[in-house]
Amino acid sequence: MAIIHGNETWEAGFGVTDNTTQEPVTPHTLFYTGSTTKSFAAALASKLVYSRDNEDAHKDIEWSTPLRDIIGEDFLLQDSYATSHISLEDALSHRTGLPRHDMSWINGDANVKGMVRRMRYLPFHNEIRTTYEYCNLMFAAVAHAIETATGEMFDHLLHVWIFEPLGMHESVYSIPDAQAMAADPSNEANLARGHLYDQVTGEYVQPAWDSIPPGIGAGGVISTVHDYLKWIRVFLHPGEHSATIFKAAIDDMTFPHIPVSKDSPPFKGAMTYGLGLELATYRNYNVVLHDGALAGYMCGMLWLPEREWGVVAMHNSYNFTHNVLIWHLLDNFLETPEAERIDFVGWTQDLLAKLAKRTNTARERLYPDAPKTGEEVVAPSLDLEAYEGLYQHPGYHNLTISVPARTEADPEASVTLDIAGAARSYLDLSGRMDHVNADNWMFRCSMGPHQPFDDMGKIQFVVGKGDEVLGMRFQAEPAIDGEKGMAWFEKIARRDRRLSSSSRKRLLLLRAIL
């Protein structure tokens, strides 16, 4: 963690980068910084708006320029008005009405153009400019627009336009670059591994490097607290860095574009979103902040412009402790009386407990009319093997349904869900599905073993008159209630069972279970 106050800085590292190597964390340890990347995306977009001359291809771009005008037919949405009107500032302030749809991009696709083109298959949740609707995909659209307008790659511009001018020599945008920096003895950097704590076994699990989603403008920066102070400093002293980011751009980024919530303790009054940054008021001071979370890493940055004070905390675990630390340090700085301090430890414990409860009570929440414990459950319409196969939706990755072998270690094997073709996935859908009633099932969307962030979703198979499975309604976007939130996955292929002669015996056993 690190603090800046005026022209002074303080930095410190605690703990280890890797629970197996026990290498110490220092202020020069590289961490994924998750969604704090969004502030860099907004800053790059501001370069299109402000630092232009008559020779630039992007000389006509304003914050209000529709994305469609920049990236053309790649940007096509289900709402024609939204397609033609969603602008750079709409996308950067989460006011487009399109929800997260993270399942569309988070597993294994590094091509922003491909991600953006899939948005045409994804339903809206709200009207444009009416509601705060956090959407990572819209930042992919912004990244695509920046690349289209400049003819340069997003990560190249990040280095040339921001990292290098600010002296952020410990900031990169890819794992290979981070690994190379950590291996270079000429600098002080080392690289933290992300860790997920298994609540049941009490052990840490490290997400594999190749399971971490690609940076798409919404996330992807890998940096150190030492470097992030340089980034925060730009906002504390906006006039000093106009060659890198215009003061007007900083004013735009920190101007409220959409209300986030009416009352968000510990803040006083409304919390709002600027461009890639959150805005609020605490103890009569304006506060600018953003969090980030990705694959066992979390990061938070916060600053008080009027006091020229800022703080950043990065950690390689998934538990919000950066927020607890940040607020502790902020209250220390503001000399907040003990009696008036928010109990952030308790607040964080409550949040984690609520998340776990949400998962544990998913059955009642998702299927309130389903049979209760002890009541008769209707079996699936068809034999389990009939559900096996490949299911397709153009906006998401294909999914496979299969029935694995029963083993002594796993005698209650049931239907399982997998992402087809994805070698590894951070937001994991793989695993056993829970049968609820008839053709209604639940799946688990997991970030790792026994994580409080796991969520459950609905799967409803549809069987045709010919006793064949036509497809499944899949709850791909939890924010959208009802039928609209259920994506239709058409069954496009049966599983070829000719190669697994023993599986028939297993299926017979499974049928006996049901």
Partner 1 sequence: MLASLLILLSLAAAGKTWQDLSQQIFKNGVNDSAYDPLHSADVEAFVQQLMHDFHTP
What is residue 394's DSSP assignment? T
CB of 182 to partner 1, least distance (A): 17
Judged by CB, which is closer to partner 1: 19, or 398?
19
CB of 315 to partner 1, least distance (A): 5
CB of 36 to partner 1, least distance (A): 18
CB of 341 to partner 1, least distance (A): 12
Judged by CB, which is closer to partner 1: 349, or 402?
349
Residue 413: phi and psi, rounded to 5, are -55, 140
Put the strands of the sheet holding 455-463 in their side by side order: 431-432, 416-419, 399-402, 389-392, 486-493, 469-475, 455-463, 440-445, 434-437
Judged by CB, which is closer to partner 1: 289, or 390?
289
CB of 12 to partner 1, least distance (A): 4
Angle between helices 37-50 and 136-150 in degrees, nearest 10 = 40
DSSP 192-221: PPP-EE-TTT--EEPPPGGGSPPP-SSS--
Judged by CB, which is closer to partner 1: 33, or 46?
33
The whole-angstrom separation of Cα 442 and Cα 436 is 7
The whole-angstrom separation of Cα 356 and Cα 115 is 31
CB of 25 to partner 1, least distance (A): 9
Enumerate binding residues for partner 1 (CB under 8 A): 1-3, 5-12, 14-19, 195, 197, 204, 315-317, 319-321, 324-325, 328-329, 332-333, 345, 348
DSSP 417-449: EEETT-S--SSB--EEPEEEETTEEEEEEBSST
The angle formed by the CA atoms of residues 262, 40 and 157, to the nearest 5 degrees, is 155
CB of 15 to partner 1, least distance (A): 6
**Contact present, 404 and 413 (Cβ < 8 Å):** yes
Q: Which of 313, 36, 322, 21 is nearest to 193 (CA)?
A: 21
Residue 466: phi and psi, rounded to 5, are -85, 20
**Contact present, 3 and 311 (Cβ < 8 Å):** yes
Judged by CB, which is closer to partner 1: 15, or 269?
15
Judged by CB, which is closer to partner 1: 272, or 317?
317
Judged by CB, which is closer to partner 1: 312, or 415?
312
